[in-house]
């Protein structure tokens, strides 16, 4: 018998074991230290072993306890980065996704999975006010941004066939608050980071459309070819939403592709659509259900207005108009519209989670995150030892401990020590940002578990940490 075979009965036993462990983790989550106490040496000692030649059988599962202990707890007081909170119904779907092992390359390979993915993409597009947009799920916002900009380049300055050497220099515009994945994409696409323009921002940290227009004119004058504007709908530092309507107007006037990086913020359009006016004028939009739709990693999404542009960028046959079948459902191939071929059935978790809870529950959770962010911002503003460093546009709060009489450099150093101490204390987890050379403590709320008490503990923990460093 093939010794890799596992019977249904055996699978049930192992699955129950994992489910029991996962359920215990969820029950204990609120009380767990946010950072595991383990050092690098501890984790090496636990896990960095030689691969066993002989199978360990069910004993292999014993160390899963140590794995759980070695994880950062993502309870309601995890405020670092832009990290969603892993809605558990979706997590159950992930197990089935792996068992079914559908390769979502095309409808032919994965009929149910391909249809479900196209359906949830449609749900997402409609939910953020962009009905009619098409797209696919990706590994995250970085992959979606790369694909969006690959589409922009191929639409504006085709290079897939002959390369970029024969083309004039392309230029892409964004604000100084751009996420690093955009400059990475510009580098990978052969445009060169030097040709990514950082447009100045206003005091709400939003791109200035007049400056954008000046920069485009200047580049045109110098013989370069402006191809795309990347507006950000929810900057990673402060959640600023670039003014999409006037930016779309400039892009339209100069015939540039408009990509909106909504990896952090676009899903907030479920709760506050009025703040995202103009989003539907984009040519492509990235968004991250694994951030503000609370899905387990990984689940990003790229939306685009014109699927022909996706096929022009990603179809390798050059024969992108031809399909396997005249039937629009059965002939559909994701690989003609994506940089990936083998793709996991990411849509199942989203489909199950959205159907289980209903869209309204997500809208309310996002709305509540926004209210909690304002609650924290007001509490910081009232607290004489703390100061806000930027307006709170969505759910990212940048602030610092005021160190009266200290130089900027010493204030930064003090706040860096406070950050380290806050996280070591194990109650709340914060990350940081740098705003005009000021070191900021940063709390970001994209978490369906966070409560008022959780948010209030940010203040008490920062003050306690400050008294300890």
> What does the binding site for ligand PLP look like in residue numbers (CB under 6 A)?
82, 140-142, 145, 179, 181, 232, 236, 261, 263-264, 288, 300
Question: 139 to each of 131, 142, 334, 369, 376, how far by Cα in Å?
Answer: 23, 8, 14, 24, 31
**Residues with Cβ within 8 Å of residue 419, at least 6 apart in sequence:** 430, 431, 432, 441
Closest distance of CB 180 from ligand PLP, Å: 8
Nearer to ligand PLP, 287 or 419 (CB): 287
Using the minimum distance from each CB to ligand PLP, give the nearer residue, 291 or 312: 291
Would you put residue 228 in left (φ > 0), alpha (ψ -120 to 50) or beta? beta
**What are the distances in angstroms from CA 445 to CA 29, 34, 407?**
17, 15, 30
Q: How far is the CB of 152 from ligand PLP (least distance, A)?
A: 16
Nearer of residues 104 and 231 to ligand PLP, judged by Cβ:
231
Beta-bridge partner residues of 134: 304
Measured from the CB atom, the residue of 106 and 394 that comes closer to ligand PLP is 394
The DSSP code sequence of 241-280 is B--HHHHHHHHHHTT-EEEEEETTTGGGGGT-GGGGTTGG
φ, ψ for residue 15, nearest 5 deg: -65, -40
Give the nearer residue to ligand PLP in terms of CB position, either 179 or 442. 179
Write down the least CB distance from residue 376 to ligand PLP, Å: 19
Given the complex with ligand PLP, which of 259 and 311 has the nearer CB atom?
A: 259
User: Which tokens belong to 252?
Assistant: 């339209």
Q: How far is the CB of 444 from ligand PLP (least distance, A)?
A: 9
Question: How many angstroms separate the CA atoms of 72 and 81, rounded?
Answer: 13
Nearer to ligand PLP, 230 or 372 (CB): 230
Among residues 83 and 216, whose Cβ is nearest to ligand PLP?
A: 83
Host H or E run for residue 42:
helix 40-47
- Determine the straight-line distance between the first and last CA of the chain, rounded to whole angstroms: 62
CB of 229 to ligand PLP, least distance (A): 15
Shortest distance, position 181 Cβ to ligand PLP, whole Å: 4
Q: Dihedral (C-alpha) 249, 254, 268, 310: value to the nearest 10 degrees? A: 140
Minimum Å gap between C-beta 392 and ligand PLP is 16
CB of 244 to ligand PLP, least distance (A): 14
């Amino acid at each position: 018998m093939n010794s890799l075979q596992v019977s249904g009965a055996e699978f049930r036993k192992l699955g129950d074991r994992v489910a029991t462990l996962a359920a215990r983790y969820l029950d204990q989550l609120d009380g767990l230290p946010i950072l595991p106490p383990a050092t690098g040496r501890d984790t090496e000692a636990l896990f960095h072993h030689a691969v066993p030649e002989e199978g360990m059988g069910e004993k292999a599962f014993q160390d899963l306890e140590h794995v759980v202990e070695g994880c950062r707890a993502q309870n309601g007081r995890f405020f670092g980065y832009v990290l969603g909170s892993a809605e558990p119904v979706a997590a159950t779907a992930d197990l089935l996704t792996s068992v079914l092992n559908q390769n979502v390359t095309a409808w032919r390979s994965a009929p149910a999975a391909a249809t479900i993915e196209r359906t949830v993409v449609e749900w997402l597009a409609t939910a953020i006010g962009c009905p009619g947009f098409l797209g696919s799920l990706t590994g995250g916002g970085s992959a979606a941004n790369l694909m969006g900009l690959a589409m922009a380049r191929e639409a504006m300055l085709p290079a897939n066939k002959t390369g970029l050497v024969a083309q004039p220099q392309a230029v892409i515009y964004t604000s100084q608050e751009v996420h690093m994945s955009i400059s990475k994409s510009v580098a990978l696409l052969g445009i060169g980071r030097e040709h990514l323009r950082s447009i100045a921002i206003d005091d709400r940290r939003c791109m200035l459309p007049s400056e954008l227009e000046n920069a485009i004119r200047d580049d045109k004058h110098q013989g370069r070819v402006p191809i795309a504007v990347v507006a950000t709908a929810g900057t990673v530092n402060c959640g600023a939403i670039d003014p999409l309507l006037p930016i779309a107007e400039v892009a339209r006037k100069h015939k540039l592709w408009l990509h909106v990086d909504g990896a952090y913020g676009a899903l907030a359009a479920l709760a506050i659509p009025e703040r995202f006016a103009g989003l539907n004028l984009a040519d492509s939009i990235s968004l991250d259900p694994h951030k503000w739709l609370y899905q387990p990693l990984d689940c990003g999404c790229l939306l685009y207005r014109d699927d022909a542009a996706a096929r022009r960028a990603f179809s390798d046959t050059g024969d992108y108009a031809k399909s396997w079948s005249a039937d629009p459902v059965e002939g559909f191939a994701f690989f003609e519209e994506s940089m990936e071929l083998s793709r996991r059935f990411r849509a199942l978790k989203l489909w199950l989670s959205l159907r289980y809870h209903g869209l309204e529950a997500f809208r309310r959770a996002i709305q509540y995150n926004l209210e909690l962010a304002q609650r924290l911002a007001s509490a910081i503003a009232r607290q004489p030892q703390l100061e806000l460093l930027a307006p709170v546009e969505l759910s990212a709060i940048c602030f610092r401990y005021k160190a009266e009489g200290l130089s900027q450099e010493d204030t930064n150093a003090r706040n860096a020590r406070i950050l380290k101490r806050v996280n070591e204390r194990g109650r709340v987890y914060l990350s940081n940002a740098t705003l005009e050379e000021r070191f900021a403590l940063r709390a970001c709320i994209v978490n369906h578990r966070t409560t008022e008490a959780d948010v209030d503990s940010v203040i008490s923990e920062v003050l306690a940490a400050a008294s300890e460093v």
